[in-house]
Amino acid sequence: MYQETKRPFISLDLGTSNILAYVSGQGIVYNQPSLMAYDINTNTLVAIGEDAYDMVGKTSENIRIITPLVDGVIADLDAAKDLLKHIFDRLKMMNFWKGSIVVLACPSGVTELERDALKMVAKDMGADLVVIEEEVKMAALGAGVNIELPNGNLVVDIGGGTTDIAILSANEVVSSKSVKVAGNYFNNEILKYIRSEYNMAIGSTTSENIKKTLGSLVQYPNERSMQIYGRDIISGLPKEAKINSEEVRNILLSAFSKITDLVIEILEEIPPELAGDIMKNGMIICGGGALIRNIDKYFYDIFQLPTKIAAEPLGCVIEGTKAYEKIIVKRVNEGAYDASQDTYLKKLN
């Protein structure tokens, strides 16, 4: 029996589209877009989060908008460090750091070198222990899966940069695959379609709005259309057009075929015992992509597996880190966690 020591707990969801930070006893203390604006003349950070998002497409050429994490990997390590330092400075002012355990939920594509760099940022800010975990694992936990049990679960996490598909059992990712087809990819496909079909250039914000308003994967009653505004690519003048639900659905179905192909690959590789678990437990869909209309029916029609959308798909990862607090604190206090290797030394009874 171990003597539990109360230690401050901080977790971050380092997503492509949004960054969230949670502090035990305080709740979510940071929830902002993963965007940063730099003055290229002075190389200084001028805006971050919502402030940087509001500047997209509206600034002079002297301002550079950066997304530190792109398609599930760190595209700009220096910017990622600046982002963490900004968040950690806010937390440090709240005096949460002394003796703290920090969990960083990262995309599966983040390399060991990048993990070490992110760890060092947290350590430099005063964290006592820094643990790196995959977002898909935390998403499963946040969706209500008991990841400690030796029971196979299929998780599809459709984020901003990547879709991560994993089979989890006994606190481990048994098998996982990732594809750079997710929220940003869907937006870009809509942009390309509008340009091709309507000779019209629109911004990323408009594309995102089209996806949220009209996006679906299965036909639904009372489908609608919407007016969109942009620039005529021939004349350069302002232009408007009307796009309908069917057009957007066809764009999304083409993109989702890549995701379903990956699910098939995962299912073909798993052991028979885990396949039996998946037949019973079905599939859990997390991430912002889970909000696309009729996505559960789409996957069920293809795989004939029970399909569940997480109760809070956008917050699954950070909710998972909240639940993970009890697991990691207990294991650290028992000496069952090797911080240098990010691995468990033994199983708990």
Annotated binding site for ATP: 160-162, 208-211, 288-291
Report how far residue 307's alpha carbon sits from residue 14's, in angstroms, rounded to the nearest whole number: 26
Q: Two tokens at 77?
A: 């390590």
Q: Two tokens at 213?
A: 């308003």
Q: How many CB atoms lie within 10 A of CB 42?
A: 9
For 280, the enclosing helix (H) or strand (E) is: helix 272-281
- Find out whether 21 and 29 touch, Cβ atoms under 8 Å: yes
Q: How many CB atoms lie within 10 A of CB 266?
A: 18
Q: How many CB atoms lie within 10 A of CB 120?
A: 13
**Phi first, then psi: what are they for 152, rounded to 5°?**
-70, 135
- Find out whether 30 and 48 touch, Cβ atoms under 8 Å: no
- Find out whether 187 and 193 touch, Cβ atoms under 8 Å: no
| Residue at token pair 């015992």 | 273
SS3 state at 62: coil
User: Which class for 235: exposed (0-12), middle (13-18), buried (19 or more C-beta within 10 A)?
Assistant: exposed
Annotated binding site: 160-162, 208-211, 288-291
- Find out whether 120 and 134 touch, Cβ atoms under 8 Å: no
Report how far residue 346's alpha carbon sits from residue 349's, in angstroms, rounded to the nearest whole number: 10
